[in-house]
């Protein structure tokens, strides 16, 4: 009896760790700084810690739900792509049933967290869940699919303001739009890795539609727009010098990120996508938070 329980527990833990790896759980760092800085801006200083904790739980739950949904929806596409064929479902290291269970649990965590925040967020909770389920389908229909992923990040700053204060000043919308442009820009960048496979499978992306060179130009333009929108948000908020120092730092880091990739050399794509985007989010968020509390 004891051995059976231990084997069951061990197998459950193995599946859980495989699940966390398959959804790149550690990449939650991309979005969390935008949630945290929105909380500090909305409070004009230190936010309510209980409220912030529930916001972060909701954020992680929503992202986990969305990534699990993405892995389920794209399992057949992933299996046909050499770059993604080793992902958990195509490789058989986790089944669709287990992935679905984890997805539903993450959705439940999101709903529980939202229930602890301002009542308006309860009414709006279906929107981010719908976006999370909907955006993986976009690449089947339109090369603008990158903005579907960006829409997830567009939601974050206004949603945090609503969750903690029940209001949504326009500055948070601008930060959300800046986040969307930033994320769409690096999603275009990342899609260059799959442009040949996407064309073969009839999937849509900026690189598949226009080629790698045009995609890199498009990505850079989006990042210029992102910096401009974040700066404009600071003007609307009447932010201090540290906020704009954070925008400047993000601009420099985005420029460096773009310099890592060229139409002739995509070898540093993973560094540009996975490493630099986490760094950029953390640096910008740190500047903004410090500026709000001093």
Compute how many other C-beta atoms are within 10 angstroms of the C-beta atom of residue 293. Answer: 12
By the 10 Å C-beta count (0-12 exposed, 13-18 middle, 19+ buried), 22 is classed as buried
* Calpha distance 222→171 (Å, rounded): 19
Q: Any idea how long the chain is?
A: 294
114 against 271, higher pLDDT: 114
The pLDDT of residue 271 is 64
Who contacts 199 (Cβ-Cβ below 8 Å, separation ≥6)?
Answer: 208
pLDDT at 3: 58
pLDDT at 86: 87
H helices then E strands: how many in the chain?
16, 0
Please name each of the domains of the chain with its CATH number.
Answer: 15-293 (1.10.357.140)
> What is the rounded radius of gyration, in angstroms, for the C-alpha atoms of the chain?
20
Tally Cβ neighbours within 10 Å of residue 24. Answer: 12
| 231-253 residues labelled b (16+ CB within 10 A) or e (exposed) | bbbbeebebeebbbbbbebbbeb
pLDDT average, residue stretch 49-66: 92
**pLDDT score at 6:** 54
Instruction: Note the pLDDT tens digit of each residue in 131-181.
Output: 999 999 999 999 999 999 899 889 999 999 999 999 999 999 999 999 999
Query: For residue range 235-264, what is the model confidence (pLDDT) as tens digits?
Result: 999 999 999 999 999 999 999 888 888 877
pLDDT of 276 > 80? The answer is no
Q: Would residue 265 be called left, alpha or beta, if left means φ above 0 and alpha means ψ between -120 and 50 degrees?
A: beta
> What is the pLDDT, as a whole number, of residue 27?
66
Q: pLDDT tens-digit profile of 171-210?
A: 999 999 999 999 999 899 889 988 899 999 999 999 999 9
Which sign, positive or negative, has the C-alpha torsion 106, 68, 63, 137? negative
Tokens coding 230: 């974040």
């Amino acid at each position: 009896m004891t051995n059976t329980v231990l084997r069951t527990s061990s197998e459950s833990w193995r599946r859980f760790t495989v699940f966390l790896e398959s959804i790149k759980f550690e990449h939650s760092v991309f979005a969390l700084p935008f949630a945290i800085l929105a909380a500090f801006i909305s409070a004009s200083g230190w936010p309510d810690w209980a409220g912030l904790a529930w916001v972060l739980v909701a954020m992680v739950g929503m992202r986990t739900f969305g990534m699990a949904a993405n892995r389920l929806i794209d399992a057949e596409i992933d299996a046909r792509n050499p770059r993604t064929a080793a992902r958990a479902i195509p490789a058989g290291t986790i089944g669709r049933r287990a992935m679905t269970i984890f997805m539903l649990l993450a959705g439940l965590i999101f709903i529980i967290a939202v229930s602890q925040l301002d009542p308006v967020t309860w009414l709006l909770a279906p929107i981010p869940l719908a976006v999370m389920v909907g955006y993986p389908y976009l690449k089947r229909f339109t090369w603008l699919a990158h903005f579907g992923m960006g829409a997830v990040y567009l939601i974050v700053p206004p949603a945090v303001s609503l969750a903690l204060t029940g209001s949504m000043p326009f500055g948070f919308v601008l930060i959300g739009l800046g986040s969307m442009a930033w994320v769409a820009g690096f999603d275009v960048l990342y899609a260059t890795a799959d442009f040949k496979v996407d064309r073969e499978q009839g999937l849509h992306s900026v690189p598949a539609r226009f080629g790698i060179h045009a995609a890199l130009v498009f990505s850079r333009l989006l990042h210029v727009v992102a910096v401009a929108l974040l700066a404009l948000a600071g003007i609307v908020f009447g932010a201090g010098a540290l906020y704009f120092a954070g925008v400047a730092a993000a601009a420099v880091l985005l420029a460096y990120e773009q310099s890592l990739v060229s139409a002739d050399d995509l070898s540093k794509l993973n560094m540009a996508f996975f490493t630099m985007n986490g760094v950029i989010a953390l640096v910008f968020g740190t500047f903004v938070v410090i500026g709000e509390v001093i």
